[in-house]
């Protein structure tokens, strides 16, 4: 038994020595070893370089401790490729991810949101980093963001109220009704953007959105003329209570009720 333990110890020592002294080509194979302790040893090899680390960081079975060791070893000379690989690895801590995100390009952050296996914390951090950059992002990139972005990103882009951008946001398959409802009740909604929602085939039949449109003081009267004949009486009475300061709208609503004998 003692001889067996001794032989195991000798094998471990030889393996560790190999890890420290292996040449560049051999390291590409060694970084695939499943032994996490051995991988820590490999980081001490003077021959290990960025190409080896990129192969290592593609693995999805690394420990947070090993990720932290890789970062500490290279933090003063991190290339863009290694930074991106660290952020994409699911074992990278949320704290480290947040510290590295400012170094990524805008659409690298978008790609991170959809990366298979990305943690909720990583996705949220990437979304927040994108949203922080929106005010200084050129319109062309905002348009691309509206097409490719997550629901939260598209909702944030809508708030700008820029008609061309708004139209692209409305067409996003990830846009949620709640985001449009919030926009319609917000300060940046204009007669033009309100009418865009009212004309949009995907959104203009939603009762909550119709009500929000008709309650907005900036909504053009044409939507009252077109929609009132199809609206149920309780909703007309609700609208009547919300637009007392607008005589023209009040008149349209009262006229509709009279048509129905109410």
- The average pLDDT across 162-187 equals 96
Specify whether 146 is located in the same domain as 213: yes
**Residue 103 structure tokens:** 């170094």
Q: Is the residue at 206 inside a domain?
A: yes
d(CA 259, CA 109): 56
Q: Is the residue at 180 inside a domain?
A: yes
- The average pLDDT across 85-100 equals 92
Q: Which of 90, 87, 48 is nearest to 71 (CA)?
A: 87
* DSSP 8-class letter at 229: G
**Residue 136 structure tokens:** 């200084």
pLDDT, tens digit, for every residue of 33-49? Answer: 999 889 999 999 999 99
d(CA 88, CA 113): 10
DSSP H helix total and E strand total for the chain: 18, 0
Residues 18 and 43 sit within 8 Å (Cβ to Cβ): no
**Number of structural domains the chain divides into:** 2
Q: Which of 201, 207, 223, 215 is nearest to 246 (CA)?
A: 215
Specify whether 261 is located in the same domain as 244: yes
- The H or E element that residue 50 is part of is helix 50-57
Q: Is the residue at 171 inside a domain?
A: yes
Query: Is residue 44 helix, strand or coil?
Result: coil
Q: How confident is the model at residue 1, as a pLDDT?
A: 44
Reading phi first (left if > 0) and then psi (alpha if -120 to 50, else beta), residue 104 is in beta
Q: Is the residue at 184 inside a domain?
A: yes
Residue 2: pLDDT over 60: no
Residue 6: pLDDT over 70: no
Specify whether 146 is located in the same domain as 167: yes
Q: How confident is the model at residue 120, as a pLDDT?
A: 87
d(CA 248, CA 78): 65
- The average pLDDT across 173-191 equals 96
Specify whether 202 is located in the same domain as 154: yes
Side-chain-side CA neighbours of residue 236 (13 Å): 21
Q: How confident is the model at residue 244, as a pLDDT?
A: 64
Chain mean pLDDT for the chain:
91
Side-chain-side CA neighbours of residue 71 (13 Å): 20
Q: How confident is the model at residue 14, as a pLDDT?
A: 87
- The average pLDDT across 109-131 equals 92
Binned at pLDDT 50, 70 and 90, residue 119 comes out as confident
Q: Domain span at residue 250?
A: 221-262
Start-to-end CA distance of the chain, whole Å, equals: 98
Q: Is the residue at 155 inside a domain?
A: yes
State the residue for tokens 């939603």. Answer: 206
Binned at pLDDT 50, 70 and 90, residue 192 comes out as very high
- The domain boundary, picked from 218, 235, 254, lies at 218
Binned at pLDDT 50, 70 and 90, residue 246 comes out as confident
pLDDT, tens digit, for every residue of 52-76? Answer: 999 999 999 999 999 999 999 988 8
Backbone phi, psi, residue 14, to 5°: -60, -40
Q: Which of 110, 61, 52, 59 is nearest to 81 (CA)?
A: 52
User: How many degrees, rounded to 5, is the angle at CA 8 between CA 5 and CA 14?
Assistant: 145
- The average pLDDT across 212-226 equals 93
Q: Is the residue at 46 inside a domain?
A: no
Specify whether 185 is located in the same domain as 249: no
């Amino acid at each position: 038994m003692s001889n067996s333990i001794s032989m195991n110890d000798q094998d471990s020592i030889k393996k560790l020595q190999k890890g420290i002294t292996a040449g560049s080509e051999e390291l590409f194979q060694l970084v695939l070893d499943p032994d996490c302790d051995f991988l820590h040893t490999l980081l001490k090899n003077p021959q290990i370089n960025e190409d080896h680390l990129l192969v290592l960081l593609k693995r999805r079975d690394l420990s947070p401790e090993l990720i932290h060791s890789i970062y500490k070893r290279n933090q003063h000379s991190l290339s863009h490729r290694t930074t991106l690989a660290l952020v994409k690895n699911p074992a990278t801590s949320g704290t480290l991810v947040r510290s590295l995100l400012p170094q990524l390009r805008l659409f690298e952050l978008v790609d991170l949101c959809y990366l298979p296996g990305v943690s909720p914390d990583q996705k949220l951090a990437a979304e927040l980093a994108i949203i922080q950059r929106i005010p200084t992002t050129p319109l062309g990139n905002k348009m691309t963001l509206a097409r490719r972005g997550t629901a939260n990103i598209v909702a944030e882009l809508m708030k700008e109220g820029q008609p061309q951008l708004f139209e692209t946001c409305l067409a996003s398959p990830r846009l949620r009704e709640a985001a449009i409802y919030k926009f319609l009740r917000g300060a940046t909604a204009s007669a033009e953007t309100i009418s865009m929602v009212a004309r949009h085939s995907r959104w203009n039949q939603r009762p909550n959105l119709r009500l929000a449109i008709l309650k907005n003081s900036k909504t053009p009267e044409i939507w009252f003329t077109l929609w009132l004949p199809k609206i149920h009486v309780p909703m007309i009475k609700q609208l009547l209570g919300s637009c007392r300061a607008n005589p023209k709208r009040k008149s349209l609503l009262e006229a509709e009720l009279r048509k129905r004998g109410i």
